[in-house]
Amino acid sequence: MAQRIDKHGLKVDAHLADFIDSRALAGTGLEAGAFWESFSDLIHDLAPRNRALLDKRDALQTQIDDWHRAHRGKPHNAAAYKTFLEEIGYLMPESDAVQIGTTNVDPEIASIAGPQLVVPIT
């Protein structure tokens, strides 16, 4: 089992902590203590919001699963399914036109097409 150490209230794998402290932060001008304190504050600040979003996702998925079980073996009714998804808040009404920009975003994100790595948050 991996050894975990405490970094400002976070239980962090010892190898990861060593990598962050000795290699990732090298040359950045950030002190390890300041990094871990700020990172811990960020995690503790965002964790309740993240938990609420995960709970909402679970509730939506349960409703969707229930709908599919209730309609098993029946012909697909796209209009009814769309209405259901709108009623539970999975689909939202289309909003007014939104304009976004890519100022101060790395080209690899803003304009260079390429494979994307998608990593689950759980």
99 part of a folded domain = no
67 part of a folded domain = yes
Range of the domain at 67: 4-88
pTM of the entire predicted model? 0.64
Q: What is the DSSP string of the chain?
A: ---EEEETTEEEEHHHHHHIIIIISTTTS--HHHHHHHHHHHHHHHHHHHHHHHHHHHHHHHHHHHHHHHTTTSPP-HHHHHHHHHHTTSS-PPPSP-----TT--HHHHT-----------
* Residue 59 confidence class, pLDDT cut points 50, 70, 90: very high
pLDDT tens-place string over residues 5-47: 999 999 999 999 999 999 999 999 999 999 999 999 999 999 9
pLDDT at position 41 is 98
55 part of a folded domain = yes
Number of folded domains that form the chain: 1
